[in-house]
Structure 1
């Protein structure tokens, strides 16, 4: 159960957002409903998401794996649920996406670069970021500086999403049956 009502005031912005969300996703997204209690925050968040969606220096598959690894590390079931659905919608392998929460045990399912990207996403997600100079240097060498900056920004954005969704108490909205986040050892 969410910690915040998912029935915000029916402002013009919320009505437009609900219409778009239903048209695009088939339902109104719970994070939008939570943010809807503050129109300025909702508007700024939507603009950020729209702009981030246009970034294209980093391969879309790598970007998605980084986002999923950060969401799994934060243990955001809503993010994992939506992220699984979104990845499949974008043509990524459902079985590979399902392996992300356990990527360290399922290394054979990923390329070396994918493993580096997920390692970076997790290191960046730690409460005190644990990114090493060596990891950053290897990713810059393999991706280039523009893609590295985009990777860093996407992981930071997913940290914002996942941490807000967890704080709001949002859970799976039913986008995927494969959204389970394994318990941490």
Structure 2
């Protein structure tokens, strides 16, 4: 049960946001509804997300794995649900997406670079960040500095999303179910 009402005032901003959300995602996103109680925070957050969506120094698949690893570490069920759907939309293998929370137990599914990226995302997500000089150096050597900066920023952004969604008490909104293969009748 959410800790905050998901029925904010029906302002013009919220009506436009709901229309955009339905058109883009098929439903109105709960985080948007929660943020809707403070239009300034909502607008700032939306602007940040719009700008972050244009970042392109880091491979989209690596970016998605970093986001999912961070969300899994924080245990944000809303973020994991949406992340599964988002990975599916990107064409990522379902088995790979499902195994992100236990990526160390399935090394055969992930490349060495993917494992480094997820390790970094988890280390950065720790309450006291646990990023080592060696891990940062290995990633900079493999990705380059521009992509490393983007990786760091996208993990920080996911920390914001996951921590806010968890604090709001948001849970799965059913995105991952839309990716499942229907049972034969």
TM-score range relative to shorter protein: over 0.9
Kept in 2: contact 1:98–1:178 (CA 8 A) = no
2:59 matched residue in structure 1 = 59
**Which stretches of structure 1, 4 residues or longer, exceed 2 Å deviation after superposition?**
none
**Quick one: distance in 2 between partners of 1:35 and 1:17?**
11
Offset, 1:51: 0.3
Kept in 2: contact 1:81–1:178 (CA 8 A) = no
TM-score (norm 2): 0.95
Task: Describe the superposition over 1:73-131 as per-residue Cα deviations: whole angstroms up to 9, x where unpaired.
Answer: 00000000000000110111111011101101111110000000000000000000000
Task: Describe the superposition over 1:50-70 as per-residue Cα deviations: whole angstroms up to 9, x where unpaired.
Answer: 000000000000000000000
2:145 matched residue in structure 1 = 145
1:183 matched residue in structure 2 = none
Kept in 2: contact 1:84–1:178 (CA 8 A) = no
2:37 matched residue in structure 1 = 37
**Quick one: distance in 1 between partners of 2:28 and 2:82?**
12
**Quick one: distance in 1 between partners of 2:32 and 2:178?**
22
**Quick one: distance in 1 between partners of 2:134 and 2:116?**
11
**Quick one: distance in 1 between partners of 2:106 and 2:178?**
16
Kept in 2: contact 1:57–1:147 (CA 8 A) = yes
Q: Verify: 1:2 aligned to 2:16, yes or no.
A: no
**Quick one: distance in 2 between partners of 1:136 and 1:4?**
38
2:182 matched residue in structure 1 = none
Q: How does 1:3-18 map to 2 (within 5 A)?
A: 3-18=3-18
RMSD between superposed Cα atoms in Å: 1.2
**Quick one: distance in 2 between partners of 1:69 and 1:91?**
18
**Quick one: distance in 2 between partners of 1:162 and 1:28?**
18
SS of equivalent to 2:161: helix
Offset, 1:177: 3.7
**Quick one: distance in 2 between partners of 1:117 and 1:177?**
27
5+ residue gaps, structure 2: 180-185
**Quick one: distance in 1 between partners of 2:95 and 2:84?**
10
SS of equivalent to 2:104: coil
**Quick one: distance in 2 between partners of 1:84 and 1:94?**
8
2:27 matched residue in structure 1 = 27
TM-score (norm 1): 0.95
Offset, 1:178: 9.8
1:115 matched residue in structure 2 = 115
